[in-house]
Amino acid sequence: MENSQALRTWLDDLKLSHPLVIAGPCSAETEEQVLKIAHELKDSDVTYLRAGIWKPRTRPGMFEGVGAIGLKWLQKAKAETGMLTATEVANAAHVKLALEHDVDLLWIGARSTVSPFIIQEIADALEGTDKIVLVKNPVNPDLALWLGAIERLYNANIKKLGVIHRGFSTYQKTKYRNIPEWQLAVDLQNKFPDLPLICDPSHITGKRDMIFDVCQTALDLNYDGLMIETHFDPDNAWSDAAQQVTPDSLKQIMRDLKIRKETDEEAEYNSKITNLRAQIDVLDNKLIETMGERMKVADGIGALKKQRNVAVLQSNRWNEVLGKMILEGEEKGLSEEFILKVFKAIHQESINHQEKVIKG
């Protein structure tokens, strides 16, 4: 991808005065639903109508998409509203059908990007296409895997490429459905400044009331566009109900977002500081999650001590923990004074929890 300038052209050709917006339901459900959403979105900043036709669901037995019939609904929506269309493809058969039905933009889902075999199959099926192809990040935070997928498509002579950042899954619970790890997408942006970068706040947050903030962060980081799941009746959507917004809320989000026009120097500063702050937010959130989990374990210890009638404070054990943490802290550049303060506070909270259990 040495000479990657051409990658940007498709986006510049759209001549938008605002970020690119791709919106529509997580899943196409019925013909009426697709058409209703398309009509409600047609007079807005939305350029591409999205709808999932084949849905990669984590567990079997859930709604797995309407299949190829949904492509006819997208075609009808395009004919009636003039909107361009977008859907996810996950194998060569999907690609063939999507191309036959003249879908304008195809995206590759997070569960496909993790598999080089699937990506190669999709790249071969798309060879030389002039359709736009966007690659979502893999579910795991692995930049090389994401880049590898982009390279496979580029090598298949697909030049209208871009990426979608939809966040990364973690075992640890956070306030996000998929944590953003902004620095990873920003690294990709720095490596390939001509590769359009779209944010998918719906799958990052999993909750509609967090979408605006994630969109604003993305724009502050100079993202080129947004992909937002939109449904006229989100609560009754057949998939991803909690994260979809109504067409009216989508329009409100677009009105409220600040698109900052800055000098290059300001833009660089703002993008760096936003990125760093976003990292701090994620880490703070992890700290709270971890401390919450730690106190749950303390409750368990309290229950055990109560059963065996053992005293809450075991000073040997406490001194051992403290000594270990001071050494580990030192390795991370944390002063002894700081470790003492933090762990005394944590220990006190832990004692409070245990006493509560014991007094029960």
Secondary structure in 3-state letters for the chain: CCCCHHHHHHHHHCCCCCCEEEEECCECCCHHHHHHHHHHHCCCCEEEEECECCCCCCCCCCCCCCCCHHHHHHHHHHHHHCCEEEEECCCHHHHHHHHHCCCCEEEECHHHHCCHHHHHHHHHHHCCCCCEEEEECCCCCCHHHHHHHHHHHHHCCCCCEEEEECCECCCCCCCCCCECCHHHHHHHHHHCCCCCEEECHHHHHCCHHHHHHHHHHHHHCCCCEEEEEECCCHHHCCCCHHHCECHHHHHHHHHHCCCCCCCHHHHHHHHHHHHHHHHHHHHHHHHHHHHHHHHHHHHHHHHHHHHHCCCCCCHHHHHHHHHHHHHHHHHCCCCHHHHHHHHHHHHHHHHHHHHHHHHC
Q: Scanning residues 81 to 100, which ones bind ligand PEP (CB under 6 A)?
A: 88
Is residue 26 involved in binding ligand PEP (CB under 6 A)? yes
In the complex, what is the shortest distance from the CB of residue 52 to Mn ion, in angstroms, rounded to a whole number? 6
Q: Which range touches ligand PEP (CB under 6 A), out of 107-115, 140-148, 153-161, 311-319? A: 107-115
Residues interacting with Mn ion, by CB under 5 A?
A: 26, 240
Q: Scanning residues 38 to 67, which ones bind ligand PEP (CB under 6 A)?
A: 52, 56
Residue selected from 136, 152, 231, 251 as contacting ligand PEP according to rule CB under 6 A: 136
Is residue 166 involved in binding ligand PEP (CB under 6 A)? yes
Residue 221 interacts with, from Mn ion, ligand PEP, none (CB under 5-8 Å by kind): none
Question: How many residues contact ligand PEP, by CB under 6 A?
Answer: 10
Residue 292 interacts with, from Mn ion, ligand PEP, none (CB under 5-8 Å by kind): none
Q: Scanning residues 183 to 212, which ones bind ligand PEP (CB under 6 A)?
A: 203
Q: Which is nearer to ligand PEP, 200 or 350 (CB)?
A: 200
Q: Scanning residues 260 to 289, which ones bind ligand PEP (CB under 6 A)?
A: none
In the complex, what is the shortest distance from the CB of residue 164 to ligand PEP, in angstroms, rounded to a whole number? 7
Interface residue list for ligand PEP (CB under 6 A) = 26, 52, 56, 88, 109-111, 136, 166, 203
